[in-house]
Structure 1
Amino acid sequence: MSSEKIVAEKRTEFGKGAARRIRRENKIPAVVYGHGADPMHLTLPGHATMMALKNHGANALLELDIDGKTQLALTKQVQIDDVRRVIEHVDFVAVRAGEKVTVEVTVHVVGDAASGSMVVTDLNTLSLEAEATHVPETIEVDIEGLEIGTQILAGSVELPKGTTLLTDPEALVVNITEAKTIEEPADEAAEGETEESADAEATDAE
């Protein structure tokens, strides 16, 4: 997992008004927590930050340049405006190279199961422990050719080297079931046929 370098500015103004002014300048308010230090309130460049989060996913690792000093920061929460779909605020946790962190990593299902099957993803993320600088962006689960009735549990998912599963190993991740077809209920079909017959008889009588 590579880190993106971002130049950050310390900020001393807080509150909704200050945040709106920051966003009007195409910048993003952010805060970095961790390691027993006071939270660092920052302003990040809007476009560069947006691209870094887009390219590296929910657990993006940023290398923040703060007054000439570098701080590794792991993304923990991104607040997005529901209407405009722009980033409103980002929370980070300060990390060090080699440090273990707990993260939620998205499950990405690849491949096609057997014909006539339906793939149900029961868990969209897995909880893992990994080195801060080696957090996987996604966990791939290959279902190519799997037969109906196959169940993939968390404990059987192949994880990248250096990561430890924290999710219950018995938790169901992917379930391959039989695809159901929508059929017209027999009673409704028979009722429809009766109505058609009655209509036909009435026409003949006329």
Structure 2
Amino acid sequence: MSDTVVLKAEARDRVGKGSSRAIRRQGKVPAVIYGDNKDPISIVLPAKEVTLMLHAGGFLTKLIDIEVDGKKHKVLPKDYQLDPVKDFMMHVDLLRISSKTTVTVNIPVHIEGEDDCPGLTAGGVLNIVRHEVEVHCPASAIPEFFTVDISKSVIGDTLNISDVTLPEGVTPTITDRDFTIATIQAPGGGVEDDAEEEDAPEADEVPATSQSEEGDEE
């Protein structure tokens, strides 16, 4: 689990497109905190810090302590909007979380053991079928990444979700099969390609991006 980031924010009295444009001209980002059966709070965030967090990766799985008027709100970014032309941050939606909150997030997959992999040493090719795995997990314990060890894999081997050690309370959203994460293929493809296609994510399994390029809806 990654460390919680602390950001100072300002309360926002006015909402609407005109107000949002004025905020962005000041180098800030309009945002809203919602959820946990509490009233939403409109706030203003520093654009530089938020943009750096976005470009660092893992933005939608990063816990943030937002401090507003001396009070902290633990949140998880759930959505954001970028300007479709200039690509700057336009708005952020922040989900207020508690110790009981469960969220659905995409966790990146890290492959390790490539230097010691017999299959790769023999000329095989590593094919990563899923670079991320969608899971349900406690909002307070979101894994930073999952590790798949291929140090003992040979040509023809398939690494499935069952080969990944999942932390307590973390479950894949796909539960009807032991889906493939990666394969070690023979040089030039071969029969392993067919196995890959069978386990590759279908269109309705690929999670929609949380990034929106629509204009600010406020």
- 1:11 and 1:73 map into 2 onto residues whose CA distance is 17
Unaligned residue ranges in structure 2 (runs of 5+): 190-218
SS in 1 for 2:61: coil
Residue correspondences, number: 181
Q: Cα distance, 1:30 vs. partner?
A: 1.3
Unaligned stretches of 5+ residues in structure 1:
182-206
Cross-structure match for 1:154: 161
| C-alpha contact (below 8 Å) 2:30/2:42 kept by paired residues | yes
Q: 1:138 aligns with which of 133, 145, 160?
A: 145
Q: Report the alpha carbon displacement of residue 174 of structure 1 after superposing the two structures with TM.
A: 1.2
What CA RMSD, in Å, does the superposition of the two structures yield over aligned residues? Answer: 2.4
2:23 counterpart letter in structure 1 = I
Give the distance between the partners of 1:17 and 1:108, measured in 2 at CA: 43
C-alpha contact 2:148 2:163 (8 A) present in aligned 1: no
Output one character per residue of 1:15-73: Cα deviation in whole Å (capped at 9) or x when no partner.
33322222221111112221122332211011222334444613111101122111100
Higher-Rg member (1/2): 1
> Closer, same or farther in 2 for the Cα pair 1:110/1:90, shift >3 Å?
farther
**Cα distance, 1:121 vs structure 2:** 2.1
Contact 1:97 1:133 in 2 (8 A): yes
Instruction: Note closer, same or farther for the CA distance 1:55–1:75 as it changes in structure 2 (3 Å cut).
Output: same
Tell me by how many angstroms 1:145 deviates: 4.9
Q: Which has the higher contact order (CA 8 A, sep 6+)?
A: 2
The CA deviation at 1:94 is 0.6
Structure 1: how far apart are the matches of 2:156 and 2:62? 36
Correspondence for 2:96: 94
SS at match of 1:70: strand
1:108 equivalent to 2:116? Answer no
Q: Percent of pairs identical after alignment?
A: 30
TM-score, normalising length: structure 1 = 0.75
CA distance in 2, matches of 1:36, 1:97: 14
Q: Which runs of 4+ in 1 moved over 6 A?
A: none
Distance, in Å, in 2 between the alignment partners of 1:24 and 1:111 is: 48
